Structure 1
Amino acid sequence: MATSHPTVLAGARSAIEPLLAGGQDRILVGIAGPPAAGKSTLAATLAADLRADLGEGAAVAVPMDGFHLSNTQLARLGLTNRKGAPDTFDAWGFAALLRRLRSPQAGEVVYAPEYSRVVHESIGGVVPVPAQTRVVVVEGNYLLLPSPPWTLARKQLDLVLYLDAATPVRVDALLRRQRARGLAAAAAHDWVQRSDEANAALIQTTMRYADVVLTRP
């Protein structure tokens, strides 16, 4: 598994420590940021680091990308060429999941969806979150958008970190991602500039709403 840069992980842990010391049973931590900033890697690394300290099962990472609309629905709605934009997600469903995660019932296991970069679809029931899990790390592009239903999701989070990275670093990673999808170089470049970077520009306007901003070296 890829791991996040030590200084980024240390910054995330430092931000979370006051919540851990507070003694609440369930902590929801968000990680927002533009595409390919390293959100998924930081979420997985942070959850693993917390499990190492607090015990197996103490933390789990839940991705917002599990709420991508299906390719069939995107085609029906005429949104295929905008996949990844805010209106191509089931944001209401995402907010509803976070409400369940906020207040788990005794003995309940909540199963969150995950996005597959193999089949390029969301798959339900992939990420189990037992009631006894103390820290849920939620990562996604749009956690800080200041409009509903995204604001309903934000209300469930105790803390939101914003992970930034230099544009050339992100764009290079995005181009590799699109080439891995099977796109030719020109098509990959077009998608990244037209879609991913347009979304990144929107996301970067939400940085000011974050509790803590971390920058990937």
Structure 2
Amino acid sequence: MSEILTDPVSRLLQLYNSSSSRIIVALAGYPGSGKSTISKHWAIEVNKKNGSESLIVLGMDGFHLSKKRLRAMDNPDAAFARRGAPYTFNPEGLIFKLKALKDSAGKKAVGWPGFEHEAGDPVDDAIFVPPECRLILVEGIYTLYREGEWAELERLFDETWFLDVSVETAMSRVYKRHMEAWGMSEDEAREKAAGNDLLNCANITPGREQADYLVGSRENS
């Protein structure tokens, strides 16, 4: 059973000050739960107190498979329709980079991929993690996913958090996102989410029980 974490910034500062080794924290949550927004806020607060780049936030969007790789699949139409499902990501790449972050601490910088939304494709080495950075938070929908090859993630994170926003609240934000990004009606946005985002939530939910801590959103705190 996951514990409730009421002050994530204090916990991050505690982790930073508790060890001279590099610590990697995972943050999972549903699409639309606000992982990117809230983790950036935490980074600002931690770095304000401990100095620039004490905490670096990395997203897992850069581990989406490229459109070229999706087109090469047996059913590319289904792959594009379900982009965001576990099989449309590159867990091997994520595992490789997490191991590199562990091994390179204090020695050399590590490149981390980003995602170019306009092009719809990942970008290699969009950000570099300096060797002296001791605290890293990796946020993404599948950071706590443990099926198949994803299971290796468990031993690569020092602590795991789940952003405790309900599916209903998260999906309401996803509907709005689809409407704004694609010019959809609300009914169209709901249909799109039901055929992909909502299905993905079933893969994400087990992480809520597996996480070390549940973290409330800023709206709920």
The TM-score with structure 1 as length reference comes to 0.88
Q: Tell me how far 1:183 sits from its aligned partner.
A: 4.8
SS at match of 1:142: coil
Residue 34 of structure 1 aligns with which residue?
A: 30
5+ residue gaps, structure 2, are none
1:106 positional shift: 4.2
Determine the structure 1 residue equivalent to 2:119: 119
Indicate the structure whose relative CO is greater, using CA pairs within 8 Å and at least 6 residues apart: 2
- Name the SS for the 2:209 alignment partner: helix
Checking the alignment, whether the CA contact within 8 Å between 1:30 and 1:139 is kept in structure 2 is yes
- Give distance in 1, aligned partners of 2:148 and 2:39: 24
Deviating 4+ runs (over 6 angstroms): none
Which runs of no fewer than 5 residues in structure 1 stay unpaired?
1-7
CA contact (8 A) 2:146 2:153 kept: no
Q: Sequence identity of aligned pairs in percent?
A: 26
Aligned 8 A contact 1:9 1:42 in 2:
no
Question: 1:56 is matched with which residue: 52, 55, 58?
Answer: 52
Alignment match, 2:63: 67
Offset from partner CA, 1:125-162 (integer Å, 9 cap, x none): 11110010111110011111222322222311111110
Deviates more, 1:181-190 or 1:9-18: 9-18
Q: CA RMSD in A?
A: 2.0
Whether the aligned pair in 2 keeps the contact of 1:29 and 1:159 (CA below 8 Å) is: yes
Counterpart of 2:104 in 1: which secondary structure?
Answer: coil
Distance 1:62 1:74 in 2: 24
Change (3 A) 1:177 1:39: same
Go from structure 1 to structure 2 and tell me whether the alpha carbon gap of 1:180 and 1:117 turns closer, same or farther (over 3 Å shift).
Answer: farther
> What's 1:4 paired with?
none
In the alignment, structure 1 residue 23 sits paired with structure 2 residue 19: yes
Structure 2 residue 87 is the aligned partner of structure 1 residue 87 = yes
Q: Distance in 1 between matches of 2:26 and 2:162?
A: 8
- Letter of the 2:209 counterpart: R
Q: What count of residue pairs does the alignment treat as equivalent?
A: 210
What SS does the aligned partner of 1:36 have?
A: coil
| Cα distance in 2, alignment partners of residues 37 and 87 from structure 1 | 21
Tell whether the 8 Å contact from 1:34 to 1:200 is kept in structure 2 after alignment.
yes
Provide the rounded CA distance (Å) in 1 between the counterparts of 2:154 and 2:71.
Answer: 29
Distance 2:162 2:138 in 1: 12
Equivalent-residue separation in structure 1 for 2:196 and 2:215 (angstroms): 24
| Matched position secondary structure for 1:93 | helix
